[in-house]
């Protein structure tokens, strides 16, 4: 009798996955818990109420966490719904059928922090705190290597320090930046990503803070409503910079994840970029094919907040244009659900594409790191 052959454990684990959430914002409720992980020379800046951080001048209007279940109060003080890994697992992941969550934190303006040394020290401390508090005790969480890209040498050192840790699945930068991310000064960061087989992730949220330029090309917005609606502009600029400056010619295996930017603007950028390349390709002779092909090959986007279009057919057309069956990743932006339930946002995604968005595309971007033990 032939002995049955079991599928490799990776394949069995893959088949059991129901959803991979690529954007969970775990929160630092007590900076005193992070301070021991910060290099000693700058640890004093972290104690007490937390470090000085670059901030923009806009505050959310309306419900802060949408329909997120809030923890019970303790000593009369409300608890943050993303501060306790047990709570997040029980009240969000388990309830909604999410098996794995990629942690992205809340330090989205770190890359425009005026003190580059402090920013690098905070990144190191937060990374170690995330590993020890969230990732290693829980198999459902995977971490991001947060770096401060205004100090590329220290960013590279941090990637090399943690790049082979099984609990880390990507390198994370805030999209707020002093200069476009295609500039050669940032290339060592991308080289380090490739060296360790890690995708690069960009997250909006720090535009207009610290050392960054205004959040729009014509100056500072007046309201949070205007500021948030304008944020994809930074992705437009970074995409065009990275492609034009030859990032993907030099690093052909680099993958980039764009968080919380939507997708409806992307076809316009690809069409305009291709049209101009045909007339002005002499300025970037290293680009041997239309810019849109580099964008579709190297960039992925996330579902929160997916644009609310008046007809589901319009969404299907846009998803086809951006090749969403390969490039779209499910994200919840937990616990910031003021724009709606993340699962409602994907209800009009075609059934044939649904599992790819929920599971398979994340596995393609992050690879087997999603399935291996964290320690």
In-domain check, residue 221: yes
Position 9 pLDDT exceeds 70: no
The 3-state secondary structure of the chain reads CCCCCCCCHHHHHHHHCCCEEEEECCCCCCHHHHHHHCCHHHHHHCCCCCCCCCCCCCCCCCCCCCCCCCCCCECCECCCCCCCHHHHHHHHHHHHCCCEEEECCCCCCHHHCCCHHHHHHHHHHHHHHHHHHHHCCCCCEEEEEECCCCCHHHHHHHHHHHCCCCCEEEEEEECCCCCCCCCHHHHHHHHHHHHCCCCEEEECCCCCCCCCCCCECCECCCCHHHHHHHCHHHHHHHHHHHHHCCHHHHCCCCCEEEECCCCCCHHHHHHHHHHHHHHHHHHCCCCCCCHHHHHHHHEEEECCCCCCCCCHHHHHHHHHHCCHHHHEECCCCECCCCCCCCCHHHCCCCHHHHHHHHHHHHHHHHHHHHCCCCC
In-domain check, residue 302: yes
In-domain check, residue 12: no
In-domain check, residue 52: yes
75: containing domain: 17-369
In-domain check, residue 9: no
> CATH code at 218?
3.20.20.140
Position 3 pLDDT exceeds 50: no
In-domain check, residue 279: yes
In-domain check, residue 7: no
Q: What is the pTM of this model?
A: 0.95
State the chain's mean pLDDT as an integer: 94
Number of domains in the chain: 1
In-domain check, residue 291: yes
Q: Residues 302-334: pLDDT tens digits?
A: 999 999 888 999 999 999 999 999 999 999 999
**pLDDT (average), residues 242-261:** 98
């Amino acid at each position: 009798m032939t002995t049955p052959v079991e599928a490799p454990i990776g394949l069995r684990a893959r088949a059991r996955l129901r959803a991979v959430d690529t954007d969970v914002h775990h929160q630092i409720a007590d900076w005193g818990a992070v301070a021991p992980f910060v290099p000693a020379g700058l640890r004093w800046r972290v104690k007490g109420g937390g470090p000085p951080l670059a901030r923009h001048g806009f505050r959310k209007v309306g419900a802060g966490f949408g329909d997120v279940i809030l923890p019970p109060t303790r000593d009369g003080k409300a608890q943050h719904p993303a501060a306790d890994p047990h709570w997040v697992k029980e009240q969000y992941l388990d309830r909604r059928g999410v098996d794995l969550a990629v942690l992205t934190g809340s330090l989205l303006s770190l890359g425009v922090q005026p003190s580059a040394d402090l920013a690098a020290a905070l990144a190191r401390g937060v990374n170690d705190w995330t590993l020890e508090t969230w990732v290693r005790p829980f198999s459902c969480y995977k971490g991001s290597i947060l770096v401060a890209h205004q100090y590329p040498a220290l960013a590279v050192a941090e990637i090399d320090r943690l790049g082979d840790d099984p609990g880390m699945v990507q390198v994370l930068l805030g999209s707020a930046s002093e200069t476009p991310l295609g500039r050669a000064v940032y290339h060592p960061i991308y080289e380090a990503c490739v060296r360790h087989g890690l995708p690069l992730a960009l997250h909006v949220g720090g535009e207009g803070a610290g050392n960054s330029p205004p959040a729009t090309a014509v100056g500072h917005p007046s309201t949070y409503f205007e500021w948030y609606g304008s944020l994809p502009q930074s992705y437009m600029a970074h995409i065009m910079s990275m492609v034009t400056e030859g990032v993907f010619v030099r690093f052909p295996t680099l993958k980039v994840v764009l968080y919380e930017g939507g997708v409806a603007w992307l076809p316009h950028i690809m069409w305009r970029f291709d049209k101009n390349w045909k007339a002005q390709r002499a300025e970037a002779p290293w680009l041997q094919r239309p810019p849109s092909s580099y964008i579709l090959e190297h960039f992925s986007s996330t579902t929160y907040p997916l644009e609310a279009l008046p007809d589901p057919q319009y969404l299907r057309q846009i998803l086809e244009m951006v090749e969403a069956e390969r490039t779209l990743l499910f994200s919840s932006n937990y616990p910031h659900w003021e724009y709606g339930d993340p699962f409602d946002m994907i209800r009009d995604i075609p059934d044939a594409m649904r599992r790819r968005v929920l599971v398979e595309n994340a596995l393609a971007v992050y690879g087997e790191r999603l399935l291996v033990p964290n320690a």
